[in-house]
Amino acid sequence: MSALPACQTLLLEPHNGVLHITLNRPESRNAMSLQMVAELRAVLAAVRDNRSVRALVLSGAGGHFCAGGDIKDMANARAQGRDAYRELNRAFGSLLEEAQHAPQVLITVLQGAVLGGGFGLACVSDIAMADHQAQFGLPETSLGLLPAQIAPFVVQRIGLTEARRLALTAARFDGHQARRLGLVHFVEQDPQALAERLDEVLDHVLCCAPEANAVTKKLLLASAGQPSSELLDEAAQCFSEAVTGAEGIEGTMAFVQKRKPGWST
């Protein structure tokens, strides 16, 4: 396996052709900081052309997958203006594009919070498995924000009708509902069952030739409508306008202050 980048927000464990990547900011339920985005992109770039890496397994430390974007990063961006928000948002969209097109089989193991950006990462995985009590949702609109980079990948994964319902209500749902929506493929009752399912899936993946899998994945993705870079650029601009507008300021402040925003009854 080729040299992997040094990471502060990720734990990397290569084992028998599989790279296990653990989001490791448990104190924030693995909220997606700009540093974590950069480190994930660097890991994907490091293994992209390495066919000895057959699969990537993405999970979270501390009982949660990922609670979405890091509000602290948003606070830092506020001091730098609207362009900083656009760049922050677009960087995550680039991560989703790169994860979607990784030549390796990307498997997500979903526990606890699977919100916002975490939901987006689940949507770009080839195989997703969840704990039955995992909590999924797109909370952005409840914060006065937009699921800007995530939205095209959610639509591609579960369809427009369900994506509209979830994004416009910020509804939370569990692993069983995620399975019914087609967001995940397997739902298990406990961590041991999740681990056993992961082993079973990896056994199947490793039966397949790595280059054949890489090309097959490319062909399958090309057969479906793909989120475009132009759309994600426009979405990042919309996000920066939303987060610096009245609703975005009120919503993020209400989140930090642990109160309801002004529009919530």
Domain of 55, CATH number, reads 3.90.226.10
In this structure, is residue 145 part of a structural domain?
yes
The closest of 242, 240, 37 to 141, measured between CA atoms, is: 242
- Tell me the residue range of the domain where 152 lies: 10-189
In this structure, is residue 256 part of a structural domain?
no
Q: What is the pLDDT of residues 84-97, one digit of tens each?
A: 888 889 999 999 99
Report the pLDDT averaged over residues 123-144: 97
In this structure, is residue 105 part of a structural domain?
yes
In this structure, is residue 179 part of a structural domain?
yes
- Give 255's pLDDT tier (boundaries 50, 70, 90): confident
Asked if residues 120 and 152 have their Cβ atoms less than 8 Å apart, the reply is no
This prediction's pTM? 0.91
The answer to whether residue 78 scores a pLDDT higher than 60 is yes
Determine how β-strand 135-137 pairs with β-strand 172-173: antiparallel
Residues pairing with 114 in the sheet: 66, 136
Phi-psi region of 110 (alpha: psi -120 to 50; beta: other; left: phi over 0): beta
- Give 236's pLDDT tier (boundaries 50, 70, 90): confident
Residue in the structure block whose two tokens are 């700009």: 34
In this structure, is residue 18 part of a structural domain?
yes
What average pLDDT is seen over the chain?
93
pLDDT of residue 103: 97
The more confident residue out of 82 and 221 is 221
The secondary structure of residue 17, as a DSSP letter, is: T
- Give 62's pLDDT tier (boundaries 50, 70, 90): very high
The more confident residue out of 77 and 155 is 155
The answer to whether residue 1 scores a pLDDT higher than 60 is no
Asked if residues 42 and 9 have their Cβ atoms less than 8 Å apart, the reply is no
pLDDT of residue 2: 58
In this structure, is residue 67 part of a structural domain?
yes
pLDDT of residue 115: 97
pLDDT of residue 127: 98
pLDDT of residue 229: 84
Share of the chain above pLDDT 90, in %: 74
**Domain count within the chain:** 1
Report the pLDDT averaged over residues 22-43: 96
In this structure, is residue 171 part of a structural domain?
yes
Side by side, the strands of the sheet bearing 113-115 are 113-115, 135-137, 172-173
Ranges of beta strands (E only) in 16-171 are 18-23, 55-60, 105-110, 113-115, 127-131, 135-137
In this structure, is residue 264 part of a structural domain?
no
Rounded to an integer, what distance in angstroms lies between the CA atom of residue 87 and that of residue 136? 26
pLDDT of residue 265: 67
Residues pairing with 187 in the sheet: 130
| Residue partners of 228: CB distance under 8 A and separation at least 6 | 152
pLDDT of residue 92: 94
The more confident residue out of 44 and 229 is 44
- Give 81's pLDDT tier (boundaries 50, 70, 90): confident
